[in-house]
Amino acid sequence: MSEPTESSRPLRVVVADDQAAVREPLAAVLGLAEDIDVVAAAADGNGVLDAVAAGPVDVVLMDLRMPVLDGIETTRRLSDEHPGVAVVVLTTFADDDSILAALSAGARGYLTKNAGRQDIVRAIRAAAAGQSVLDREVQDRLLATVRARPTASGQQLPADLTPREREVLTLIGQGLPNRAIAEKLFVSEATVKTHINNLFAKAGIRDRADAVRRAIAAGLA
C-alpha cells in the first residue's frame, strides 16, 4: 500500500479556494514541505478541472464553497473522470449534509479549517496513499449519523438479477427517467424498458416508485 520511504517523489497538489487570502498562504506554506509540490491554485471548480487536465495531479485540497462550480460537484466529476486523483476537503463547514455529500462524492479526506499545517500535510500524504483522513469532529458526526439508524442492512433483492439489471435499478433509484438511463448506459430506451420489465418481474417490483424504495433499501442508490 505504500513504499518503504515516505517520499519517493514529491506529491503534486492543487489548492482550491475562492478566497485568495486563504488560497495563497495555504499554497505557500504547503510548498514548504519537501515532499509536496503545489502545482496549481484554483479559485473555483473549473480551475481545478483545468489544472488536473493540464498535468498529472495526486491530490486536490478542496474548499466546498466556491463560485461557478462548487467543491462537491467538482469532487464528483474528479472521481468520475480522474479516479486516480485524491480529494481532501478543507472547509469551515462541518455540518452533516456537507460531510455526507463530500464523502459520497468521493472525497478521501475531510478537514475543518482549524486544522493545522501538519494536519493538512498528513491528510494529503494519507490521501495520496489511498487512506482517508477525517477530523475528529467529522468522524464523530459521521458515526452519529450511522448509529442514528440501526441499519436494516437489507439485501432483500433476489440474487438472480443480472449485472445490467442491477445497474438499471441503481439508476432508477437515483431518480433518473428511462431516457436519461438509456443515455448513461449508451443503449436505446427500448433496451432500458426491457431490463426494467425483467427486473420488475424477478424482484416483484410493482412500479417505479417501488423500485426507488427497493434500490435505496438495498444500498444501491
Partner DNA sequence: CCCGGGTTCCACCCGTGGGTCCAGGTGTCG
Partner DNA sequence: CGACACCTGGACCCACGGGTGGAACCCGGG
Point out which residues bind a copy of itself (CB under 8 A): 1-6, 96-97, 100, 103-104, 108, 111, 114-119, 122-123, 125-126, 129-136, 138-139, 142-154, 156, 172-177, 206-213, 216-217, 219, 221
Residue 47 vs 109, nearer CB to a copy of itself: 109
Give residue for cell 503545489: 38
Q: How far apart are alpha carbons 163 and 181 in whole angstroms?
A: 15
For residue 216, state whether it binds DNA (rule: CB under 7 A): no
Residue 154 binds which entry of DNA, a copy of itself, none, CB below 5-8 Å type-dependent:
a copy of itself
Q: How far apart are alpha carbons 139 and 216 in whole angstroms?
A: 23
For residue 185, state whether it binds DNA (rule: CB under 7 A): yes
Cell of 140: 464523530
For residue 159, state whether it binds DNA (rule: CB under 7 A): no
Name the 3-class secondary structure at 60. Answer: strand
Residue 42, judged by CB atoms within 10 A of its CB (0-12, 13-18, 19+), counts as buried
Residues that bind DNA (CB under 7 A): 160, 162-165, 177-179, 182, 185-191, 193-198, 200, 206-209, 211
